[in-house]
Amino acid sequence: MPRIPLMNILWARAFCRKCNTAGRGLCTYRKIFMNCIVFLIAIPCVAAFFLLFLRCSILRGAIVFFTSFLVCCASIFLLVTQFNREISYFDFVLPGISSAMTVIKVALAAYIFFIGIKHKNFVISGLIALQVILFLSFEYTHGHALVVAHNLFIDKFSVIMVMIVGIIGSLIAVFSLGYMRDFHEQYHKEIKDNRGLFFFLIFVFLSAMFGIVCSNNLLWVYFFWEITTVCSFLLIRYKQTDESVRNALFALKMNLFGGVAFIAAIWLLYQSTGTIELDKLILHGGGIALLPVVLLGFAGLTKSAQMPFSSWLTGAMVAPTPVSALLHSSTMVNAGVYLILRFAGVFQVRLAGFMLGIIGGVTFLIASFIAITQSDAKKVLAYSTIANLGLVVLCGGIGTYEAVWAGILLIIFHAIAKGLLFLCVGIIEHKIHSRDIEDMSGLIITMPKISIMLQLGMAGMFLAPFGMLISKWAVLKALVDFNPVLAVFIVFGGTATLFFWVKWMGRLLIVSGEPRDLEKNISLTEWIPLSGLALLTLGICALFPVVSSTMIEPYVREIYGVSIAMSRGNIVIMSIMLGLVMLFPLSFINYGKNVKVVDAYLGGANATPGTSFFGPGGKMTAMETRNYYLTDYLNEKRLLEFGAVLCLVLIAFMFIVSYW
C-alpha cells in the first residue's frame, strides 16, 4: 500500500470518484476505511485482554484512557471521511475468521449451558442448546456453499451508531475508572474487586457493538450479538450478590430467546433468498419472506427490552451505574432497535410491521405511566429507556421514511441524554448514599454542577427545544401522516413523561436545611465524561439540523428515494428558543438584588430556622414534602402484566400474519 498523506485521506472522496461509484471494489482509500473499521473492532478487544490481567490501577487507567482516545479518534475519523460518501462495502477476508468465530461461539455456548445447569435454570440451558444446534447445523449444511461478498460495510446510519458507541462508550469507560475506584474503596468494600474483569467486559462489549453496526454478514451480526448478551450477563452479575445473580440470569434468559429467533431467522432467510448479507436482503425490499424478518424484529424486541421482556432491563439496574449507562441505555439496547430500523423498509405497509409498531407504542405508553410510580432514580431511568425504545420500535414498525428519520433522531438524542443521566445518578448515589428521588432535595445547593447537568439531561429528555422533544415531534408528524389514530400513544405517553421528569427536576430545586458541599472528591475522570456528555447534549440540539441534513436525510433518501426536509423557519425558531433557554444561568447575575428574604408561608407558625414550624402541642416540626407517585392508581405489577399479555397477543398475531 503506497504511503498516503493524511490530507489526501480526508479528501479521499475526490480521488475515489475514479474508483467505482457504486462503492464497491477496494481502492487504497477504501482499504483505509476498512482497516479503520477493523481497528475499531479489534483495538478495544486487544485492550480488553490487557485489562483483564492488569492489577495496577495506574496502568489500567492509562490503557483505558489511551484506548478510549483511540476509539474516539477512529470514530470521528470515520465520520469525517464518510459523511459525504455513499455506502461502502468491504470484503474483509481473513483466513480462519469464521472458524475462529465458530469456536468462540461454541465455547461461549458451553459456558452458558454450564451456567444454566449450575443455577438450575434449565430454560437457559435449553435455549442455548437449541441455539447451538441450529447454528452448527446451519454451518454444516450451508457453510461451505455460503458465499459472502462483503462482510463489512459502512453507511451513514452505521456511522451514526459508531459515533454513539465510540464517543459515549469511551466517555463512560473513562468515567468508570474513577467511579469503580470509589465503588470498591469507599462504598462497597464488601464486594470483591474484580475490576480487571469489569474493564475487560466493557471493552469486549465495545468491540462487539462496533461489530454489530458494521457487519454486513448476518452471521457476524449474530456472533457479535451473542457476545453482547454474554457481556451483559457477566456485568449484571458483577456484584455477585444473590439479587445480582438472579437478575443476570433473567436477563440472559430473555436475551437468549432473541438469540434463538435470530439464528432461526438466518436459516429461513438463507433458504428463501440464498444470501445472508444485509444489503442484498434489504434490496429485496418487500419481496422477501416476512417471517424471518419478523423473527429478527422479535430478536430486536428482546434485546431492547420491550414488553413483555421489559423486566430484564429494570432488573439489570442492580449492576454498577456505568454498566447501566453503557449497556442498558446508550448502546446495547440500541442494537435491537438498530436491527429493526434497518429492516424498516420491509416492515412498511405490512400488517406484521404495523403490529410491531403497536407493540412499541404500547410499551411506550405503559412504561411511561409506570415510571410515574417509581421513586428509585435508576428505575425511573430504566422505564424511561424502555419507553423511548418503544417509540423507536414504533417508528421502525411503521417504516415510512418520515418514521425512520424520526427513529434515528430519537436514538441519537436518547443515547446522549440517558448516558448523562445515568452517570449523574451514579455520582449522586455515591455522595448521598441513596437512589431515592425524595432524598435528592436541595441538590441544587449541595451539588450544583451535578444537579445542573442532571437537569440538562432531563430537559434533553422531554423539554422543547431540546433533543427528545424534537424527536417526539418528528415521530408525531410521521405517525399523523401514516395513521393519525396511532398518535394517541405519543399524546398520552408524552404527557406522562412530562409529569415524572418535572417532578424530579422540582425535587432537586427544593431547599431546606443547611447547605453542605458534597461535590468535593469527584475525580477528574468523572468530571470529564460528565461535562463532555453535557456539552454533547447541548451541542447536538444546537446542531441537529446539520446532523439531520448531512447524515440522516441522505440515509433515508438512499433507502426510500425521498426524504424529509425540515422547514427552515422551524429550525430558526427552535434555535432561538434554545438560545433563550440557555440564557437562564445568566439571570444569576442579579442574584439576590432588590429582594427581601422571608420565610415561606406556614400559616404563621414559622419557627426558626428555615422551614420548621410549630406543630401540634407547640412542638417544632420540620416541614417535609413528598411528590405524588400515584401508586393508588397505577400499579406497576398490574400494568406490567397487562402490557405483557397485550404484547404477547400482538406478537403471536404478528407471527401468524407473517406466516401467511
Q: Which of 241, 633, 638, 652 contacts other proteins by CB under 8 A?
A: 633
Residue type, 590: N
Any bridge partners for residue 613, and if so which?
606, 621
Q: Which stretch binds other proteins (CB under 8 A): 209-217, 239-247, 254-262, 596-604?
A: 596-604
Q: Which of 316, 412, 453, 487 contacts other proteins by CB under 8 A?
A: 487
Residue placing its CB nearer to other proteins in the complex, 245 or 577:
577
The answer to whether 571 contacts other proteins (rule: CB under 8 A) is no
Evaluate whether 75 touches 162 at the Cβ level (below 8 Å): yes
Residue type, 150: H
The answer to whether 186 contacts other proteins (rule: CB under 8 A) is no
What are the distances in angstroms from CA 237 to CA 77, 187, 246, 251?
Answer: 35, 18, 8, 10
Any bridge partners for residue 622, and if so which?
612
Gap between the Cα atoms of 597 and 52, Å rounded: 57
Residue type, 529: P
What are the distances in angstroms from CA 12 to CA 3, 29, 31, 76, 552?
Answer: 14, 6, 11, 15, 21
Greatest pairwise CA separation for the chain in angstroms: 90
The distance of closest approach from Cβ of residue 348 to other proteins in the complex, given in angstroms and rounded to an integer, is: 18
The answer to whether 439 contacts other proteins (rule: CB under 8 A) is no
Residue of 325, 273, 300 whose CA lies nearest to 533: 325
The distance of closest approach from Cβ of residue 447 to other proteins in the complex, given in angstroms and rounded to an integer, is: 16
Evaluate whether 41 touches 169 at the Cβ level (below 8 Å): no
The answer to whether 482 contacts other proteins (rule: CB under 8 A) is no
Q: Which of 133, 570, 619, 641 contacts other proteins by CB under 8 A?
A: 570
The answer to whether 597 contacts other proteins (rule: CB under 8 A) is yes
Residue of 309, 382, 304 whose CA lies nearest to 339: 304
The answer to whether 285 contacts other proteins (rule: CB under 8 A) is no
The distance of closest approach from Cβ of residue 147 to other proteins in the complex, given in angstroms and rounded to an integer, is: 46
The distance of closest approach from Cβ of residue 511 to other proteins in the complex, given in angstroms and rounded to an integer, is: 5
The answer to whether 628 contacts other proteins (rule: CB under 8 A) is yes
Q: Which of 623, 634, 644, 657 contacts other proteins by CB under 8 A?
A: 623
Residue of 211, 562, 223, 556 whose CA lies nearest to 409: 556
Gap between the Cα atoms of 45 and 350, Å rounded: 40
Size of the site for other proteins (CB under 8 A): 67
- 465: preceding bond cis by omega (within 30 degrees): yes
The answer to whether 114 contacts other proteins (rule: CB under 8 A) is no
The distance of closest approach from Cβ of residue 577 to other proteins in the complex, given in angstroms and rounded to an integer, is: 7
Q: What distance, in Å, lies between the first and last C-alpha atoms of the chain?
A: 52
Q: Which of 240, 523, 625, 631 contacts other proteins by CB under 8 A?
A: 625
Footprint of other proteins on residues 52-71 (CB under 8 A)?
Answer: none
The answer to whether 473 contacts other proteins (rule: CB under 8 A) is yes
Evaluate whether 338 touches 213 at the Cβ level (below 8 Å): yes
Residue placing its CB nearer to other proteins in the complex, 136 or 511:
511
Q: Which stretch binds other proteins (CB under 8 A): 73-81, 112-120, 265-273, 587-595?
A: 587-595
The answer to whether 496 contacts other proteins (rule: CB under 8 A) is yes
The answer to whether 606 contacts other proteins (rule: CB under 8 A) is yes
The answer to whether 494 contacts other proteins (rule: CB under 8 A) is yes
The distance of closest approach from Cβ of residue 443 to other proteins in the complex, given in angstroms and rounded to an integer, is: 12
Phi, psi of 612 (to 5 degrees): -100, 160
Residue placing its CB nearer to other proteins in the complex, 102 or 512:
512
Q: Which stretch binds other proteins (CB under 8 A): 38-46, 180-188, 323-331, 567-575?
A: 567-575
Long-range contacts of 181-185 (CB under 8 A, 24+ apart): 181/57, 181/523, 182/430, 182/523, 183/320, 183/430
Gap between the Cα atoms of 236 and 316, Å rounded: 6
Q: Which stretch binds other proteins (CB under 8 A): 33-41, 65-73, 544-552, 580-588?
A: 580-588
- The residue assigned the cell 454513539 is 164
Residue 649 is placed in which grid cell?
397477543
Residue 172 is placed in which grid cell?
463512560
The answer to whether 531 contacts other proteins (rule: CB under 8 A) is no
The distance of closest approach from Cβ of residue 645 to other proteins in the complex, given in angstroms and rounded to an integer, is: 21
Beta strands, E only, 347-506: none
Residue placing its CB nearer to other proteins in the complex, 309 or 466:
466
Residue placing its CB nearer to other proteins in the complex, 104 or 488:
488
Any bridge partners for residue 620, and if so which?
614
The distance of closest approach from Cβ of residue 378 to other proteins in the complex, given in angstroms and rounded to an integer, is: 22
Residue placing its CB nearer to other proteins in the complex, 16 or 409:
409
Burial class (CB in 10 A: 0-12, 13-18, 19+), 526: buried
Beta strands, E only, 22-140: 88-90
Q: Which residues bind other proteins (CB under 8 A)?
A: 463-465, 469, 473, 476-477, 480, 483-485, 487-488, 490-492, 494-496, 498-499, 502-503, 505-507, 509-512, 567, 569-570, 573-574, 577, 580-581, 584, 587-588, 590-606, 608, 611, 614, 618, 623, 625, 627-628, 633
